[in-house]
Structure 1
Amino acid sequence: MPPLDAATLLMVIAVIDVVACVVWLALGEGLRIAPRAARRLSAYHGLCALAWWPALPESMERLVALPLDVISAGLLTAGVRGLTRVRYEAWDIVAIVAFGLVATAFTAGDPDLSTARAVSNIAGGALALMAAWDVAVGAGFRGRLTTVLVLPYGVLAAGCFWRTAGLLGWVPPGFNLAGLGANAPLAMLRLIVDLAIATGLVALVMQRLIARVRHLTRRDALTGLLNRRALEEHLARLQAKTERGRPNAVLVLDVDHFKRINDELGHAGGDAALQHLSRVLGETLRDTDCFGRLGGEEFAVLLPDTDLDGAMLVAERLRDLLQKQPLAWGDKLWPISASFGVATMRAGDSKGQDALTRADAAMYAAKARGRNRVLRAAGEAEFA
């Protein structure tokens, strides 16, 4: 079987890009998987198909192929950034793409395409390095797999810069890289790199889907807070720290007179009250605190590195904050309050469940004493 020539390989690359363009469009618009990133990646593959189609005459390279190369590289980097969610701004991508387009346009009076090609490769190499960085930082995989995902972008960037050096006469003539249209080995390498990038992008999508499913299984559907299962997982981790001598505390709170709220406002109003509480209290907690819904109108807050006195202050602050911010429902303001129980975690507790039980008992004691108050668990003074 005769070896494949460069033109055939470029046609294979173009066909693969067309297929990838359709696939990403279906993922983004049909299945709504990372739609913004998917649109960018679909456009990237579509423009690559146009830029590398072998039938495109050389006279159109400066006007069509080189600008498409730069724009498609920018779309690839923007798509990768959208999948990894490392950053959301794209000014640096836009700046490099604009530089590539403007610099290419300034070479219009030069009959030699070397400078225009060098500019295109510089922009493409820089954008490939940016994509590699975003994958390295935001892929979310372990080291070796992340390295595999980053590698094709590094190869792409190296090829762009090597080609630039040859076009500008910075390397000996024998080490120049001819263009893909006249370099079958380089075209084959580009095909392999494109397939590796496409595979890596699929892996990023899968990782994002897994993260989404994991998020949904750990979140309460109504409030968006951690659900009971997730709280118990965090509680077990805090218990391990407690066994090493770290102070940790648990708050349990329950909305006062919630049945009356449901009766007067209906279930929609009751749901709004729970969402209101979640928002008001969640905004004042630390990033390290774990706030979740145990079920019904009962919630819990896990306070890492917090002793009893600190936990009591936090609970009182939350109680006061909730009391001062009534629920706006219809054309009226409805007062919302909650009763709080506070307990510290102790060495020997069963995965932290004992502390949760003590805090829950203290919360019911607070309700029995008139509601809208904070009580520490029985026996806490001797352990404080």
Structure 2
Amino acid sequence: MFDPATLVFTFFTAQCAGTVALTAVWFINRQVPGIGCWVLARAVLGLGLLLFLLRIEIPLAASALISTSLVLLGHFLAIAGSRRFMERPQLPLRWIVLFFAVYLPVLGYFASVHPDSAIRHIVVSVALAGVSFLNVWSLWPDRDSVVRVSPRVMAGIYAFTGLLYVGRAGYQFSALAGHPLIDPTTDIVLVMLEGTAASVLIASTYITMVTEHLQADLRQQAETDPLTGLFNRRAFDRLAQRDVQTARRHHDPTFLLFLDLDRFKSVNDRFGHLAGDRVIVGLAETITACIRDTDLSARFGGEEFAVLLPRTSLDSAKTVAERIRQSLESKTFEGEGVAFSVTISIGMAALDGGQDDLSGLMRRADRALYSAKEAGRNQVVIAPRPVESGQQVA
């Protein structure tokens, strides 16, 4: 029904078509990490398939060793690309060297010294299953991964491929026992059909991964302050609204800090805007160093910043605010060849779970910040709770 040579050629054609499409995407989006490795991986895989097509013209031992080694090398290049894409450390080179140091002598022995097609197919299948599962491990996103959906799809494709190769190794064991479950021609047909389908799916999923990565980059640019790397006001409002709703639902103590540099205009006037930018970045770094990963920080614009502290007691929130204030005060900046320091005023408000929302929390933190400025700057002022709104701010 299926001619093995035709299926191998179809597999090769699909591999080449996918490589061309992925190469075009790479030329347009070279900033996406890993895509260059994927292009090279598919080219090497295609070369391995070409040598497999020429197996009649090449001695069996050379065909088995070279073509399958190129295919495996292509898989390792794909793994390298996947790990770059997912921002993970590369596999140690000694692992790959050790892999081929074991694989090549074993396969060569059963291809030339003691020819045995069943054992040879088992060795190749186990090797291909191993690199497929390595790709699954490299692609599966963790909690902090920005791109999450398409890597899971790709990991699923590689997991299915790995399981098929495990099954192929299994039914080749039956051939060793003298009761083959599948004849050699059917074996080649199944492998080529799976390979062709996987080649098309992998190429299209690579392109989907690139698209998702670009969308994540655009989303990050839209929600990130370019100078400090903190969230901007738009992102803060969205994420803080979520955290406040969660805090109200679980009655978690939550505090909002509004921070504003004191007399920042005079810094720009006296020392220049580059020095002012260094102060802004220094404050952002100070905030990041003083809060937890679960806290939320943002630059609202100019010299104004905000920090949301979910699941935080009053004493802990005071400690964080004072640590930020004191740490910034102790920093030294330089502008126009002159060293200088800056101070910051902080307004702090607690979420009242019964009747408060984000806008009310922001209004009270803003009033507390104004009180800190009026009281002489370089201090932390805590806003009264809503039930105490008739009282004067201390």
Structure 1-normalised TM-score? 0.86
Amino acid across the alignment from 2:54 = A
When the two structures are aligned, how many residues end up with a matched partner?
Answer: 374
Q: Secondary structure at the match of 2:347?
A: strand
CA contact (8 A) 1:96 1:127 kept: no
Task: Pick the aligned partner of 1:81 from 80, 83, 89.
Answer: 83
In 2, the alpha carbon distance for the partners of 1:147 and 1:315 equals 40
CA contact (8 A) 2:139 2:152 kept: no
Residue equivalent to 1:119: 123
Q: Secondary structure at the match of 1:370?
A: coil
Residue equivalent to 1:90: 91
In 2, the alpha carbon distance for the partners of 1:304 and 1:172 equals 67
Task: Pick the aligned partner of 2:41 from 30, 44, 54.
Answer: 44
In 2, the alpha carbon distance for the partners of 1:75 and 1:201 equals 14
Structure 1, unaligned stretches of length 5 or more?
Answer: none
Residue equivalent to 1:257: 263
CA contact (8 A) 1:27 1:33 kept: no
Residue equivalent to 1:55: 54
Residue equivalent to 1:201: 206
Q: Secondary structure at the match of 1:32?
A: coil
Confirm or deny that 1:192 pairs with 2:197. yes
In 1, the alpha carbon distance for the partners of 2:316 and 2:168 equals 62
Residue equivalent to 1:8: 6
The verdict on how the C-alpha distance between 1:243 and 1:284 changes in structure 2, with shifts beyond 3 A counting, is: closer
Residue equivalent to 1:178: 184
Matches within 5 A, 1:311-330: 311-329=317-335
Residue equivalent to 1:105: 105
Q: Secondary structure at the match of 2:376?
A: coil
In 1, the alpha carbon distance for the partners of 2:5 and 2:94 equals 31
Deviation at 1:233? 1.3
Deviation at 1:219? 0.7
Task: Pick the aligned partner of 2:165 from 142, 160, 167.
Answer: 160
The verdict on how the C-alpha distance between 1:355 and 1:15 changes in structure 2, with shifts beyond 3 A counting, is: same
In 1, the alpha carbon distance for the partners of 2:71 and 2:289 equals 45
In 2, the alpha carbon distance for the partners of 1:186 and 1:379 equals 69
Amino acid across the alignment from 1:41 = W
CA contact (8 A) 1:121 1:160 kept: yes
Deviation at 1:336? 2.0
In 2, the alpha carbon distance for the partners of 1:113 and 1:69 equals 21
With 329-338 and 277-286 compared, the bigger mean Cα shift is at 329-338
CA contact (8 A) 2:223 2:235 kept: yes
Amino acid across the alignment from 1:242 = A
Amino acid across the alignment from 1:103 = Y
Residue equivalent to 2:392: none
Q: Secondary structure at the match of 1:34?
A: coil
Structure 2, unaligned stretches of length 5 or more?
Answer: 390-394
Amino acid across the alignment from 1:38 = I
In 1, the alpha carbon distance for the partners of 2:172 and 2:96 equals 20
Amino acid across the alignment from 2:247 = T
Matches within 5 A, 1:232-311: 232-244=237-249, 245-311=251-317
In 2, the alpha carbon distance for the partners of 1:83 and 1:118 equals 31
CA contact (8 A) 2:348 2:383 kept: yes
RMSD: 2.9
Q: Secondary structure at the match of 2:290?
A: coil
Deviation at 1:148? 5.3
The verdict on how the C-alpha distance between 1:329 and 1:11 changes in structure 2, with shifts beyond 3 A counting, is: farther
Confirm or deny that 1:128 pairs with 2:136. no
Task: Pick the aligned partner of 2:223 from 214, 218, 221.
Answer: 218
Deviation at 1:126? 0.9
In 1, the alpha carbon distance for the partners of 2:209 and 2:86 equals 7
In 2, the alpha carbon distance for the partners of 1:381 and 1:314 equals 25
In 1, the alpha carbon distance for the partners of 2:287 and 2:198 equals 49
In 1, the alpha carbon distance for the partners of 2:304 and 2:323 equals 18
In 2, the alpha carbon distance for the partners of 1:43 and 1:177 equals 34
Task: Pick the aligned partner of 1:64 from 56, 63, 66.
Answer: 66
In 2, the alpha carbon distance for the partners of 1:113 and 1:330 equals 79
In 2, the alpha carbon distance for the partners of 1:183 and 1:113 equals 16
In 1, the alpha carbon distance for the partners of 2:137 and 2:72 equals 18
